[in-house]
Amino acid sequence: MADKEKMMQVTLAKIKPHLVFTIGLIFLTLFVYGQTFGFDFLSNWDDYQYVTNNPDIRGVTAKNLIAVFSSHYLGNYAPIHLLSYMFDYQVAGLNPAWFHGVNLVVHIANGLLFYLLVYRLTGKPFWAFVSSSVFLLHPAQVESVAWVSERKNLLAMFFSLCSFLSYIAYRRQTGERRHAAYVFSTIFLILALLAKSIAVIMPFVFLLHDVFLETPVRRKNLFVDKIFYVVVAAVAAGITLVTQSVEMGGGSVDFFDGNSTAKIFTMLPVLTRYMQTLVWPSNLDLNSVYIFYIKYRIDRDVVVALLLVLTLSIAGIYLLRRDRRLFFGFSLFFLGLVPVSQIVPLATLMNDRYLYFPMLGAAWILGGLLSRCNDAFTQNKINPALVLIACILIPCTLVSRERTAVWKNAITLWSDVVKKLPTLKDQRAALAAAYLYAGQKTKALETYEELFALKRNFSDPLAEQKALLQTATLYMDAGASEKALPFLSALTTKFPGYAWGFQKLGDYHDRLRNLPEAEKAYHRALALAPDSLPTLIALGNICMKTGKVDEARTYFLTAYEKGGNGPYLQYLLAGVEARAQHHEKSLQYLAEALRLGYRDLDAITSNTDLASIRQLPSFARLISNYFGGKD
């Protein structure tokens, strides 16, 4: 008993110096991100594909497990990412509070793991606290935490830090425990790579650790023990290159058409923006969508970036000569930027979330500098290090809290983007779509009208296509069909291979009772999409209106054969057979429509196609069975 008490006392003595720091980190992070428990999914940006409309995450089943480990989503092979959603759904269904809560818990866990890592490598709790607090609270981290779809970033970091801590244990221990630590390190690295391929940098992080943080005695096997890590990372990188390709439905885009000079001139200002975001992360500068223009020659932005690179190079050389521990953080920051620097083409040039891994290095350096300051002035009545950390953490916390509120839902997010980028059409189209998904059709139409009043062009043809279609649809739904025609004309002219454009044009002419033009548009839509159930049904309806009952039957049965066995289609077939005086068959179709859930009694009692069966006793009994005898 005495031994247990002594062991407990020793454990408490070890924990005590860190208790205030870790509790403070947790409470500050909850203050910033606790509001996300009331946030929704983003209806029109990735959450839709990953979570809300993804059948593969609907519970932990053998079928879903096979699906997430054998498929890629939005160009990413990240089964651990999808597996986490699967467990979320198993516990809480599609409750967004739970999904956001898990993001927050993983982010806090990452901050605490980083605290442990820094303390293990430096032995300084103050250094660990400053570094982990900057990592947790910096405004650039908001996108990764407040956006459910960026769970992959958080999980990749969690397993990467676990792998790093296990690697340190491997380098420091001997015997069986050393081998076990190496095995755990490799397992955690594999899990990190299966969450997000950004973890490919970890073998090089381990190498940086051995070169700059270990004593010379422990540098044996400097490269040999990295071989397995590098092989695993290379396999993950290869998979990512394949899944991110356009052919596989990924978002890999070569913005520079193979022009290396343009790539360098363009990405240099991106580095400047990243440094600005780190040093002065105001909410006005942070964005969910960054817009850069390809540069083919040196201009002012490139010159400023080159001067920044020169300054950073001098700073790096100075740190290498004066403090190798700080140089480790310096190298870690830039190593984290390598995978997102367009060496391999990505869909975007810059994002706040791309700083989640580099933030480890930036936070390490700031923690180290303030730790040095704290050590130098620890006896002073007013410690400048404490004043500085307060001046850094308080603004970061407040800005991050303000920035987090932007991610409440799709409307707040895209409103923020439009406010910062008011002249861009694609982003305003995303805001209009967000209003539409929220059922705010009036606001959606107003936003589309503002969008088409802008003089610049869309950057994404698919965004223009969708905007034209939805604007026309909203005008038609609002009873202003005459305003829809210019948008439908533009849609079918600019996108002649888009079946839905001609489908909507057919709906427009059908509504105006211009049946020949409607039929013509529907035939064009069917030629582009032969399996389109709405088009087959629309053509069947046109044939019924023009008295071509046999042709209508053919279209409806074709729709049925292609999987359209729904209550409405059965109802339409009942009308066809009633017009053809096949009363028994018509009643069979009507009975099936009612069994499947068709409940529009007004349509049944007023549809002239069904007139020949409405006087039959069997019709009355059928209606009585489903509607209680009402007619």
Model confidence pLDDT, tens digit, residues 450-503: 999 998 899 899 999 999 999 999 999 999 989 999 999 999 999 999 999 999
Q: Which residues contact 388 (CB under 8 A, 6 or more apart)?
A: 370, 373
What pLDDT band is residue 69 in, cutting at 50, 70 and 90? very high
Would you give the end-to-end CA distance of the chain in angstroms? Answer: 84
Give φ, ψ of 21 to 5 degrees.
-60, -50
> Taking Cα atoms as reference points, which of 488, 516, 511 lies closest to residue 500?
488
pLDDT tens string 508-526: 999 999 999 999 999 999 9
Measured in whole angstroms, the distance separating CA 507 from the mean position of its chain's CA atoms is 34
Query: How far, CA to CA in Å, does 546 sit from each of 313, 487, 539, 540?
Result: 78, 28, 11, 10
Whole-number pLDDT of residue 12: 65
The structure tokens 């540069």 sit at 295
Query: How far, CA to CA in Å, does 363 sit from each of 207, 272, 376?
Result: 20, 18, 20
CA distance 168 to 120: 9
Average pLDDT, the chain: 92
Whole-number pLDDT of residue 631: 45
Q: Can you tell me whether residue 460 is helix, strand or coil?
A: coil
CA distance 464 to 420: 20
Query: How far, CA to CA in Å, does 627 sit from each of 203, 604, 614, 619?
Result: 69, 11, 15, 12
CA distance 108 to 173: 28
Whole-number pLDDT of residue 258: 81
Look up residue 19 and give its two tokens.
């208790």
CA distance 518 to 496: 16
pLDDT tens string 380-392: 777 888 999 999 9
Helix intervals (H) in 495-579: 499-511, 515-528, 533-545, 549-561, 567-579
Burial environment of residue 612 by CB neighbours within 10 A (0 to 12, 13 to 18, 19 or more): middle
pLDDT tens string 333-381: 999 999 999 888 888 899 999 999 999 999 999 999 999 999 888 777 7
Measured in whole angstroms, the distance separating CA 231 from the mean position of its chain's CA atoms is 28
Q: Can you tell me whether residue 20 is helix, strand or coil?
A: helix
Beta bridge partners of 76: 73
Q: Which of 172-176, 272-276, 292-296, 335-339 has the lowest mean pLDDT?
A: 172-176
Query: How far, CA to CA in Å, does 201 sit from each of 81, 89, 158, 337?
Result: 18, 31, 14, 10
Look up residue 50 and give its two tokens.
């990953």
Whole-number pLDDT of residue 243: 86
pLDDT tens string 396-455: 999 999 999 999 999 999 999 999 999 999 999 999 999 999 999 999 999 999 999 998
Query: How far, CA to CA in Å, does 598 sit from each of 242, 532, 565, 592, 616?
Result: 46, 21, 12, 9, 20
Q: For helices 227-243 and 202-212, what crossing angle results, to 10°?
A: 150
> Taking Cα atoms as reference points, which of 441, 390, 420, 342 lies closest to residue 137?
390
Whole-number pLDDT of residue 306: 97
DSSP state of 458: P
